[in-house]
Amino acid sequence: MGGKRLFFGILGLLGVVVVAASCARALDTIPQCASGQIACGTGCVDLNADSENCGACGTTCPATQACVKGACAYECPNGDTICAPDGGATGGVCVNTKTDNDNCGSCGHACPAGQVCFGGSCSGTCGDAKSGQTVCGADAGVPYCANLQGDQANCGACGHACSAGQICESGTCQGACTSNQTLCGADGGAPYCADLMNDNANCGACGAPCSSALHNCIAGSCTNECTANQLTCTGDGGSYCVDKLSDNLNCGACGNVCPTNKPICANGTCANVGGGGTVRYTSGTIANVTYVKCGNGTYSSCNEPTAETSCTGIGLKLVSHASNGTSAVVSLGATSSCYFSISYFTNNDPNVAGQCLVGVSNAQWTSCCGTTEWHGNIVTVPTTLGQQFGYVYSADSGYNVNLSNVSGTHFGCQANATAIPSAGCSTYYVACL
């Protein structure tokens, strides 16, 4: 009897080992998915964009539809095209036929090895010299176009990525802060941007908080008074000064916290950086833009320096159809823009719909105006979101006969301190990129 108990005991232990091994093999088949993905079967998918697992594992979109934000749709955002892989046997995907190497110019038209899709055509370069982009990845993988001046993954050179807490500015990895901010906390924790002139926790220097007696930071010194652009707010057992024009936690008023979909306080209004809409470069490249008020939003306050600072105040640059490349202005690629060009935009911000967009056709380019002058034009933003609008003079670079034009208010060279003419809108915006 003792021997039988020992025999069955050994079998029991072996069974545990076998079961444990089987469980280990089963667990090994469950993939470890990256952020934003979940496991469906033995692979990882994005339920927001996977046409074979749209919104839920196993939910397949028809070939004429694509998965957009977890639902099958007949249209793609940002003007992209639905292309069905495998000859239409499975659901389609949204692609930009101007930049997609596998669907260049049209669905299924793949670029040869070593070439890149730019403007809907396969070539060995990213357009011409005006595009400001470089072919990257050709030696190690699929080639693509990158702007080495502002690409986080290709800053200054292909493959040179900026580290966490930095941004690529003019081809150099720098602290992700605006011109009036300083990168703090990099040595002692997660880096963050602070305005040392008015930050109560970093007054005059990183990590230099104001005391309870002198609780307000003004011009880099602790005091108990506030400036004209600041508000006296209360909290944490005392009062403190905030910049109502730029404080994300007190934007325009004490306690007005900017929401996650509009996280940046710009001129007292919460702005949606990168999500306002799109603009079309003269080369055909589509880029995301943010619309912010020009100054305080009135035409009388909007001159060329104010238009620039409205964008640099949220860490971006003013969009100009053509420019000499000043640090506060990004050019859309035109080599000449003396004919009131504004280029082609879309708008996804309901606050901007029906208002006026100030198009800076030329910023500080002496071939059209003197360096102390600027010119551009104004268009009324359509009330329908996602609709293309804009104006490009037919004799100027960037014009596309296949794209609709919306004529705006024409005006020529203006002194930098001269406000734009009124077009009858209640609010005037500029585009930032």
The predicted-structure confidence for 15-71, as pLDDT tens digits, reads as follows 444 444 444 444 455 667 876 788 887 788 888 888 888 888 988 888 778 888 888
Q: Provide the β-strand partners of residue 93.
A: 83
pLDDT at 222: 84
pLDDT at 405: 77
Q: Is the pLDDT of residue 209 over 70?
A: yes
Q: Cα dist. 302→129, 416, 422 in Å?
A: 32, 10, 10
Phi/psi at 64 (5° precision): -85, 0
Pair 88, 62: CB distance under 8 Å: no
DSSP 8-state secondary structure symbol assigned to residue 105: S
Token couple for 328: 């506060």
Residues in the chain: 433
pLDDT at 426: 93
Pair 181, 193: CB distance under 8 Å: yes
Q: Which of 60-64, 137-141, 377-381 has the lowest mean pLDDT?
A: 137-141
Q: Cα dist. 232→241, 242, 253, 345, 379 in Å?
A: 5, 7, 10, 39, 38
How much of the chain, in percent, has pLDDT values that exceed 70? 74
Counting other chains too, the contacts that 36-45 makes at CB distance below 8 Å and 24 or more residues apart are: none
106-127 per-position pLDDT tens digit: 888 888 776 778 777 787 777 6
298/293 Cα distance (integer angstroms):
8
Q: Is the pLDDT of residue 239 over 80?
A: no
3-state SS assignment for residue 65: coil
Q: Which of 15-29, 146-160, 286-300, 416-430 has the lowest mean pLDDT?
A: 15-29
Q: Is the pLDDT of residue 12 over 70?
A: no
301/268 Cα distance (integer angstroms):
15
127/145 Cα distance (integer angstroms):
9
Token couple for 63: 């070939």
Q: Is the pLDDT of residue 228 over 80?
A: no
Pair 304, 416: CB distance under 8 Å: yes
pLDDT at 128: 53
Pair 372, 413: CB distance under 8 Å: no
Closest CA relative to residue 429, chosen from 288, 292, 262: 292
